[in-house]
C-alpha cells in the first residue's frame, strides 16, 4: 500500500510539472489583427463616435443593428473577389456561417427580409476581414465601421450629394487636417474598360487592380494588369491615360466630348450624373474638397453608380514602438478614412423575388482616424480624462465616511457623476491629488466644522477657489457649476 501511495504522489507530481511547463510556454497575446483598447483610447473613440452619430442624426437617420455573422451564401455570393477575405464559421447544426465583411450586405439582406423600400439609416458595429493587417496604420482584421445609407426611389444624385456632404461634415468636425473626397462612377469605369478593349468578364478584376493606385505607382499597377490579369500592353496604356485624369465639373464635360467615351452609353450616363452631382455639391459648398478622379475604382463588385473615397492629405509621422507593438508607426499615408457609393442592385440579389431598391451609402472607418488622434494625444501636453466624474466627495477629518456616503448618494440620485474614495479615513491631500490626476473638476469637502455649521465646502480643482454652500443647497449648486465646467 505504501508503494502504491508513493507511485500516486510521483504521478501527481509529474503531471504538475507538465502543467507548469505548459504554462511557461503559453504566451498571452491578442489574436493577429486585433487589439485591446485602453481607457484613454476609449475616451478618444467615444468622442469620435459622438461626432459621427450626431452628424448622422442631424441628417434624419434612424439606427438598426444586425447579427455579427450571416449565412455564408449571403456574403460570399455578393462580395466577388473579396470573398477570400471573409472569415467562415461552421455551426454545430450544419449551417455554413461567415463573419460579416462589412455592414452593407447585411443591410441589403435586412431590407429584403423585411420588405423595406424606403429608409435612411445608420449602423455602427464591428466587421471582420481575413486581411494582412498593418496595425500601426489602423488596418486591422477586426474593426469598427460607421455606415450611413439612403434606400429608396429618388431623383438622381440628390441622396448621393447628401452622402458626400455628410463625409465632409464629419471630417471637418474631427479636425484631422486637410482632406480630399475622390469621386468616380462604376459606369464610367465600365465604359472606359470597354473602349480600351478590356473583356467584359475581366472588368471586376481589372477594377480591383486599378483600385490599388492609391497604394502603388502606375508602373506596378500596369505590370499587374499585364502579367497577372492578362491585358495587352496597348490596352493597359490606354487605361493609364484615362486613370491619370482628375478634375471636377470641367472634366465631366470634357470626357463627354471624348471621341471614345462619348460613344459608350454607360459612360455617358455616368458622366451626365457626375455633372449633376457637381451642381448639387456647389449648392452644398463643398466642391473645393471633392475631386473627380478616374483612378478611383473601389474593389467591391456591388457598386452600380457613383463611388467615392475620402483621403487625408497629411502623413503619419514615425514614432518609437510602444509595448506590444511589433514596430513603430512608419511615415506615410494613413490611407482612406471613408468610402461608399451607389449599389442599386444589391437588395435584389438578396431578395428571392428580385425586387429592386435603389441604395446609396457611406462608411467611415474610424480605426484609421483613431490612429491619427491617438498619435496626436501622445505628443500633446493635454491630459486625457479617462472618467467623466464631475465631483469627488471628500472629508477633511477622520470618522466622516458615513457623511461622505450619504452626500454621494444624494448626488447620484440627482444624476450627478460623483465619486468617493474607498477608505474610511483618507488624507485630504490624497483626495485632492486624486482629483488633479484624474481631472475631476469639483470637490465637495465635509469637515467637522462644516457639518456643525450646516455647510459643504466646494472647491474648484483648477483655480483652487473654495466657497461654503448650505448643505440643503449643495446639490443644486453643484448642478449649476458643472454646466460651466
Confidence band for 321, pLDDT divided at 50, 70 and 90: very low
Q: Between residues 377 and 93, which one has the greater pLDDT? A: 377
Cell of 336: 482612406
Q: Are residues 314 and 451 in the same domain?
A: no
Q: Are residues 398 and 369 in the same domain?
A: no
Q: Is 209 annotated among the ligand-binding residues?
A: no
CA angle 139, 140, 142 (to 5 degrees): 145
- Give pTM, 2 decimals: 0.85
Q: What is the mean pLDDT of residues 15-26?
A: 59
Domain boundary (350, 378, 406) is at 378
Q: Are residues 307 and 361 in the same domain?
A: yes
Domain boundary (378, 404, 437) is at 378
326 pLDDT more than 60: no
319 pLDDT more than 70: no
Give the other-Cβ count within 10 Å of 5's Cβ.
Answer: 9
Domain count, the chain: 2
Q: Is 87 annotated among the ligand-binding residues?
A: no
Q: Report d(CA 417, CA 231) in Å as an integer.
A: 64
Q: Are residues 158 and 282 in the same domain?
A: yes
Confidence band for 22, pLDDT divided at 50, 70 and 90: low
Q: Are residues 142 and 252 in the same domain?
A: yes
Q: What does the pLDDT look like over 205-228, one tens digit per residue? A: 888 888 888 788 999 999 999 999
Q: Is 349 annotated among the ligand-binding residues?
A: no
Q: Are residues 329 and 469 in the same domain?
A: no
pLDDT score recorded for residue 80: 52
Residues contacting 156, CB < 8 A, separation 6+ = 273, 276
Q: Is 214 annotated among the ligand-binding residues?
A: no
Q: Report d(CA 149, CA 124) in Å as an integer.
A: 12
Q: Is 280 annotated among the ligand-binding residues?
A: no
Q: What does the pLDDT look like over 391-418, one tens digit per residue? A: 999 999 999 999 999 999 999 999 999 9
Q: Are residues 137 and 285 in the same domain?
A: yes
Confidence band for 333, pLDDT divided at 50, 70 and 90: low
Q: Are residues 152 and 261 in the same domain?
A: yes
Confidence band for 20, pLDDT divided at 50, 70 and 90: low
Query: How distant, in Å, are the alpha carbons of 171, 247, 351 from that of 364?
Result: 10, 24, 27
Q: What is the mean pLDDT of residues 13-19?
A: 57
Q: What CATH number is associated with residue 352? A: 3.30.930.10
Domain boundary (334, 354, 378) is at 378
β-bridge pairing 88-90 and 142-151: unpaired
Q: Report d(CA 141, CA 139) in Å as an integer.
A: 7
Q: What does the pLDDT look like over 301-315, one tens digit per residue? A: 789 999 999 999 865
Q: What CATH number is associated with residue 403? A: 3.40.50.800
First to last CA, the chain: 77
Q: Is 130 annotated among the ligand-binding residues?
A: no
Q: Are residues 245 and 280 in the same domain?
A: yes
Residue with cell 470597354: 194
Q: Is 129 annotated among the ligand-binding residues?
A: yes
Q: What is the mean pLDDT of residues 225-253?
A: 93
Is 385 part of a structural domain of the chain? Answer: no
Is 403 part of a structural domain of the chain? Answer: yes
Q: Are 443 and 391 in contact (CB under 8 A)?
A: yes
Best CA proximity match to 297, nearest among 380, 224, 382: 224
Residues contacting 171, CB < 8 A, separation 6+ = 179, 310, 312, 337, 338
Q: What does the pLDDT look like over 165-214, one tens digit per residue? A: 999 999 999 999 899 999 999 999 999 999 999 888 888 788 888 888 87
Q: Are residues 358 and 450 in the same domain?
A: no
Is 345 part of a structural domain of the chain? Answer: yes
Cell of 139: 488596418
pLDDT score recorded for residue 102: 93
Number of H helices, E strands in the chain: 17, 19
Q: Is 308 annotated among the ligand-binding residues?
A: no
Q: Are 244 and 218 in contact (CB under 8 A)?
A: yes
Confidence band for 84, pLDDT divided at 50, 70 and 90: confident
pLDDT score recorded for residue 54: 97
Is 9 part of a structural domain of the chain? Answer: no
Confidence band for 466, pLDDT divided at 50, 70 and 90: very high
Is 462 part of a structural domain of the chain? Answer: yes
Confidence band for 127, pLDDT divided at 50, 70 and 90: very high
Q: Between residues 73 and 403, which one has the greater pLDDT? A: 403
Q: Report d(CA 303, CA 341) in Å as an integer.
A: 6
Q: Is 137 annotated among the ligand-binding residues?
A: no
Range of the domain at 58: 39-378
Is 5 part of a structural domain of the chain? Answer: no
Q: Report d(CA 366, CA 375) in Å as an integer.
A: 14
Q: What does the pLDDT look like over 284-298, one tens digit per residue? A: 999 999 999 999 987
Q: Are residues 374 and 431 in the same domain?
A: no
Q: Are residues 358 and 466 in the same domain?
A: no
Q: What does the pLDDT look like over 147-169, one tens digit per residue? A: 999 999 999 999 999 999 999 99
Amino acid at each position: 500500500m505504501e508503494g502504491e501511495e508513493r507511485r500516486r504522489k510521483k504521478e501527481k507530481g509529474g503531471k504538475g510539472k507538465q502543467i507548469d511547463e505548459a504554462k511557461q510556454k503559453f504566451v498571452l497575446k491578442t489574436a493577429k489583427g486585433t487589439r485591446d483598447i485602453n481607457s484613454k483610447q476609449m475616451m478618444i473613440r467615444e468622442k469620435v463616435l459622438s461626432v459621427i452619430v450626431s452628424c448622422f442624426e442631424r441628417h434624419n437617420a434612424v439606427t438598426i443593428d444586425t447579427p455579427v455573422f450571416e449565412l455564408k451564401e449571403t456574403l460570399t455570393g455578393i462580395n466577388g473577389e473579396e470573398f477570400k477575405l471573409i472569415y467562415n464559421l461552421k455551426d454545430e447544426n450544419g449551417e455554413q456561417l461567415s463573419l460579416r465583411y462589412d455592414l452593407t450586405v447585411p443591410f441589403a439582406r435586412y431590407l429584403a427580409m423585411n420588405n423595406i423600400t424606403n429608409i435612411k439609416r445608420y449602423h455602427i458595429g464591428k466587421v471582420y476581414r481575413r486581411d494582412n493587417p498593418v496595425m500601426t496604420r489602423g488596418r486591422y482584421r477586426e474593426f469598427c465601421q460607421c455606415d450611413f445609407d439612403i434606400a429608396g426611389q429618388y431623383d438622381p444624385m440628390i441622396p448621393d450629394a447628401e452622402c458626400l456632404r455628410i463625409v465632409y461634415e464629419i471630417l471637418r468636425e474631427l479636425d484631422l487636417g486637410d482632406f480630399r473626397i475622390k469621386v468616380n462612377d462604376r459606369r464610367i469605369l465600365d465604359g472606359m474598360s470597354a473602349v480600351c478593349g478590356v473583356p467584359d468578364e475581366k472588368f471586376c478584376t481589372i477594377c480591383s487592380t486599378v483600385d490599388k493606385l492609391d497604394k502603388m505607382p502606375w508602373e506596378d499597377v500596369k505590370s499587374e494588369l499585364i502579367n497577372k490579369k492578362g491585358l495587352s500592353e496597348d490596352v493597359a496604356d490606354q487605361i493609364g491615360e484615362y486613370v491619370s485624369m482628375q478634375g471636377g465639373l470641367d472634366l465631366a464635360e470634357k470626357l463627354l466630348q471624348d471621341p471614345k467615351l462619348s460613344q459608350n452609353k454607360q459612360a455617358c450616363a455616368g458622366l451626365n450624373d457626375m455633372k449633376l452631382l457637381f451642381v448639387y455639391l456647389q449648392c452644398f459648398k463643398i466642391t473645393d474638397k471633392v475631386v473627380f478622379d478616374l483612378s478611383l475604382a473601389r474593389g467591391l463588385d456591388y457598386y452600380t453608380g457613383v463611388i467615392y473615397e475620402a483621403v487625408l492629405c497629411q502623413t503619419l509621422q514615425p514614432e518609437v514602438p510602444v509595448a506590444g507593438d511589433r514596430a513603430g508607426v512608419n511615415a506615410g499615408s494613413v490611407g482612406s478614412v471613408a468610402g461608399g457609393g451607389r449599389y442599386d442592385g444589391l437588395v435584389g440579389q438578396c431578395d428571392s423575388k428580385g425586387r429592386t431598391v435603389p441604395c446609396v451609402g457611406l462608411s467611415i472607418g474610424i480605426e484609421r482616424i483613431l490612429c491619427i488622434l491617438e498619435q496626436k494625444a501622445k505628443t500633446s501636453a493635454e491630459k486625457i480624462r479617462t472618467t467623466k466624474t464631475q465631483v469627488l466627495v471628500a472629508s477633511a477629518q477622520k470618522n466622516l465616511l458615513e457623511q461622505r456616503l450619504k452626500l454621494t448618494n444624494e448626488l447620484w440620485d440627482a444624476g450627478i457623476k460623483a465619486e468617493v474614495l474607498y477608505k474610511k479615513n483618507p488624507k485630504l491631500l490624497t483626495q485632492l491629488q486624486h482629483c488633479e490626476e484624474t481631472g475631476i473638476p469639483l470637490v465637495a469637502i465635509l469637515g467637522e466644522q462644516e457639518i456643525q455649521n450646516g455647510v459643504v465646502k466646494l472647491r474648484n480643482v483648477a483655480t483652487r477657489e473654495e466657497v461654503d454652500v448650505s448643505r440643503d443647497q449643495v446639490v443644486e449648486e453643484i448642478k449649476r457649476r458643472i454646466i460651466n465646467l
